[in-house]
Amino acid sequence: MKKRYDAVLFDLDGTLLDNNASFARAFEVMKMLFPETFSQPQALDLAGMIDLRRKHEANPEAFLIDYCKKTGWVLERSPEAFYSFWSSLYLDYPVLYPESLPLLHYLKDKGYKLGIVTNGHTVSQSRKLRACGVDDLVEVSVISESAGVAKPDPAIYRMVLDRLQAKPEESLFVGNNPDTDILGALNTGMDAFYILGRPQTQNPTYSGNLKDLFDLL
């Protein structure tokens, strides 16, 4: 028998939002805007760019500097200015996983309270939520910078639950990072659905892919 939940909370990046596809879209636009850069024989392909981005995930400017070293490309602007432009493309044209919007519509139609708990900067995360249409389908979104606390701290989950008027034991959290999303949700007293991908380091209530949630819920 299915457990009936009152609320379903989601992580954003890597759970509903396909980061690699979003990066690829920005990359394609950049290639059109700067053909002399990306047509060079030594230019990195998309896979190389994604690997480099992962290496410098916490330092975007270092990503561009490293890219220049590897390709011999000379930036006409400062790394900060160029990355700001690139980030704008990434933030304004995010790509969701194919199941994301249908799943949110399905859950909303079934009467679930829906919320987002995401770590990151308020401006960038808010832009992505609006641009991809998720903001229109959830009742509450809490971003770590605005909240003053980040996953896996249970306090940020409780902020969303309180605003939804939902109890932890009657709520499910869906996320792709075991050490932030899943750990935090379990410590808050929620059930947790782990989106398969990274090495599993926690003991989630469920695991699978977004499409499995149609059957679970």
- For the domain that residue 172 is a member of, what is the CATH number? 3.40.50.1000
* Whether residue 87 is found in the same domain as residue 40: yes
In angstroms, the CA 99 to CA 159 distance is 26
Domain boundary among the residues 92, 126, 155 is at 92
Is 60 exceeded by the pLDDT of residue 49?
yes
Q: Which of 201, 111, 141 is nearest to 9 (CA)?
A: 141
Q: What six digits make up the tokens of 120? A: 């990151």
- pLDDT of res. 197: 83
* Whether residue 113 is found in the same domain as residue 197: yes
* Whether residue 78 is found in the same domain as residue 106: no
* Whether residue 27 is found in the same domain as residue 69: yes
Is 60 exceeded by the pLDDT of residue 105?
yes
- pLDDT of res. 69: 73
pLDDT tens-digit map of 12-34: 999 999 988 887 887 777 777 77
pLDDT tens-digit map of 157-180: 999 999 999 999 999 999 999 999
Contact between 128 and 93 under an 8 Å Cβ cutoff? The reply is: no
Q: Which of 2, 12, 9 is nearest to 172 (CA)?
A: 9
Domain assignment present for residue 70? The answer is yes
Is 60 exceeded by the pLDDT of residue 58?
no
* Whether residue 177 is found in the same domain as residue 209: yes
Domain boundary among the residues 75, 92, 109 is at 92
Domain assignment present for residue 63? The answer is yes
Average pLDDT over the chain reads: 87
Is 90 exceeded by the pLDDT of residue 76?
no
Q: What six digits make up the tokens of 175? A: 């996320």
- pLDDT of res. 74: 60
Of the CA atoms within 13 Å of residue 78, those in its CB half-sphere come to 3
* Whether residue 135 is found in the same domain as residue 49: no
Q: What is the pTM of this model?
A: 0.85
Q: In which band, very low, low, confident or very high, does the pLDDT at 136 lie, cut at 50, 70 and 90? A: very high
In angstroms, the CA 168 to CA 161 distance is 7
Is 80 exceeded by the pLDDT of residue 118?
yes
Contact between 125 and 156 under an 8 Å Cβ cutoff? The reply is: no
DSSP bridge pairs for 175: 194
What range does the domain containing 177 cover? 7-18+97-216
* Whether residue 198 is found in the same domain as residue 128: yes
- pLDDT of res. 73: 61
- pLDDT of res. 90: 79
Is 60 exceeded by the pLDDT of residue 97?
yes
- pLDDT of res. 20: 83
